[in-house]
């Protein structure tokens, strides 16, 4: 059976990409492999008003943020699984933390098509190791469908 790989930043769920992959899978009798990628660290964004930092700082503990990210990712994984299985499409998922381009390429090596958000290379995506679409395409021979929110 053919497999469509969907690569997702675990904390941001691009519904347009999921719907596109589901439609492609139904049209071509494919299964879906969702690869959820998570950065290892939250990057500091800085704080513009140092005089207010004492009152703002306690609500942003790194452990709380990491826990919230993991909760968001778990919810996203369950939601995508439900969406795909509701359409009677075979589904698998993988969660990788701070994955390298080689790890991602290895995971999707057996797939026939890759589906990603058109904004895959945005700086907010995959902060730690900066997996770029160009680097991914150089590693793979699979066709890549870039899906925009407008399509």
**How confident is the model at residue 107, as a pLDDT?**
94
Do 116 and 4 form a contact (C-beta atoms < 8 A)?
no
**How confident is the model at residue 121, as a pLDDT?**
76
Instruction: CATH number of the domain at 96, please.
Output: 3.40.50.620
Q: Cβ contacts of residue 55 below 8 Å, gap of 6+?
A: none
Domain that holds residue 24: 2-42+50-147
The most distant pair of C-alpha atoms in the chain lies apart, rounded to whole Å, by: 60
For residue 99, the cross-strand partners are: none
How far is CA 98 from each of CA 49, 59, 104, 123, rounded to the nearest angstrom? 31, 25, 10, 15
Domain count within the chain = 1
Q: Which of 43, 22, 38, 40 is nearest to 104 (CA)?
A: 38
Residue pLDDT tens, the chain, 151 long = 899 999 998 788 999 999 999 999 999 999 999 999 887 754 444 445 555 555 555 555 555 556 788 899 999 999 999 999 999 999 999 999 888 889 999 999 999 999 999 988 775 544 555 677 788 888 888 899 999 988 6
For residue 31, the cross-strand partners are: 3
């Amino acid at each position: 059976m053919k497999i469509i790989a969907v690569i997702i930043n675990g904390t941001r769920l691009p519904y347009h990409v999921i719907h596109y992959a589901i439609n492609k899978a139904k049209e071509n009798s494919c299964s879906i492999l969702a690869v959820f990628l998570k950065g290892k660290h939250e990057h500091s964004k800085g704080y513009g008003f140092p005089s207010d930092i004492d009152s703002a700082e306690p609500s942003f503990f790194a452990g709380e943020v990491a826990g919230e990210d993991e909760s968001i990712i778990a919810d996203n994984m369950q939601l995508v699984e439900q969406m795909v299985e509701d359409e009677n499409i075979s589904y698998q998922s993988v969660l990788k933390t701070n994955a390298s381009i080689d790890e991602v390429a290895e995971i999707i090596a057996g797939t026939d098509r890759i589906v990603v958000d058109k904004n895959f290379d945005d700086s907010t995506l995959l902060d730690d190791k900066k997996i770029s679409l160009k680097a991914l395409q150089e590693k793979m021979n699979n066709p890549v469908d870039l899906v925009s929110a407008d399509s």
